[in-house]
Each structure stands twice: as C-alpha cells, then as structure tokens.
Amino acid sequence: MAHNQEKIKILKERLGFNWQNEDLLHLALTHSSYAYEKNCRGQENNQRLEFLGDAVLELVVSDYLYRTYPGHTEGELTRLRAAIVCEPSLARIARNLELGFSLYMGRGEERSGGRERPSILADAFEALLGAIYLDQGLEVARKVALKFLEPVINDVLEGRMERDYKTELQEILQEEGVVDINYTILHEEGPDHHKTFTAAVYFQGREMGRGQGRSKKEAEQQAACQALARLGYLQG
C-alpha cells in the first residue's frame, strides 16, 4: 500500500492543483473489487464518479471540437469525438498517468492483470475527471482533460488513430451470426467539388444507421458508426 500511496502523491503533483476534498481522489481510485473485498457499502467505489466523468469528458471534447472546427459537419465531429474518447485512447492516457498502479484494487483482480486492463484504466480516468469536476469545477476539469488528451487529439486529427467503423460493425455482427450487411447511398447534394453524401446501413431487414460525409466512403463509415452506437458498442 505504501507503493500505492507514493504513486498517488506523484499523480497529485502531475494534476497540478490542491484538492479541497481529497476523499474524492481516493474514491476515484477505488476499484469495485477493492470495495468488495473490504466489505464496503455498494457505492464506495469509483463507478458513480466514472458515470459523471464520462459526461464531463464528452462535454469537454465536444466543446473543443465544435469551437476548433466550425466547418465540420455533425457527423465529422461525432467521428472525431468517438475516436478521441474511445477506450484505447483513455487507457493510453491512464497508462501515461500510471493510474493502474494508483488504484485501490482487490487482490484477485490484481492477480488477473487488472492494473493493465484497458477497460479498468479507461474507467479510472473517467472517474478521476468526475472527481476533479466535483472538487474543482468544470473549468479545471476541462484544463486537466485537454492537457492529458492533447497527444491523443493530435494523433486523431492527423489521421493516426482513425477508427474503421465498417470493419468493427462487420466483425461484431459476424460473431452474432449476421452476415447480410448492406450499405446504400441514399442521396448526394452540393456541387461536384463539395458534395455531401448520405448513406445508410441495413441488416436483418432494417435500417440501423445513417451518416453523412464528403465522400461515399466517409458516409458509410458514419452510418456504421451510428449503428455501433445504437447497438451499444460505441463509447462517446
């Protein structure tokens, strides 16, 4: 536990502010497995803070993209946000902060590799943002989030972390036994040099997603993105 406390001390220094209620920080770092082993009450883990932090993160990134890219469509902004706040991106930030080694975690979860598990790391970063929001307010939470998100945002905007939603959707549906997936371009508008395409994706006889883009490929990707969100597979 001494090692854990040393990591938390380093984390506090990296965050760059003084906590008004440090209990919030420790709660954000309390995994449910630790609370279970210690026979804590059901809410004495970081899950509620994760719920709050997820909303804070989405607002901060949405606001940043909206202000930075006034010419982007809703679909383009949604695609960028999804790539920025997805589990791999958040887990990467958590690793840089060494959050896994700061967590209070049950011994069973730790032995199974929990301190390196991407889902746990991503959840911990969201919980941390939720705690910062409650303790310091939205503006500090925004600054902290954008500070640590900066390398991820740069990678996404430079095309180094683009998600292939069509492939993701196909792989998920194939696992569920769905093989008949069809994309259709519904319409296109605008001059030849600046067209906007609208596409839809269909499976099991229903339209499951619709999206727009500057190319047919982009529109189909956005349709797949919406389908993934509708099915509950897309974070953010």
Sequence-distant (6+) residues with CB within 8 A of 126 are: 49, 50, 53, 54, 57, 90
CA distance 154 to 83: 11
What type of residue sits at position 213? G
Q: How long a stretch of residues is the chain?
A: 236
Q: Which residues are annotated as a binding site for Mg(2+)?
A: 50, 123, 126
Residue 176 phi/psi, 5-degree rounding, is: -95, 5
Could you list the beta-strand ranges (E) of the chain: 181-189, 196-203, 206-213
- Of the candidates 106, 130, 115, the one whose C-alpha atom is nearest the C-alpha of residue 50 is 130
Catalytic residues: 54, 126
Q: Which residues are annotated as a binding site?
A: 50, 123, 126
Structure tokens at 209: 């997603």
Sequence-distant (6+) residues with CB within 8 A of 115 are: 100, 101, 103, 105
Residue 19 phi/psi, 5-degree rounding, is: -70, 135
Half-sphere exposure of 156 (CA within 13 A, CB side): 23
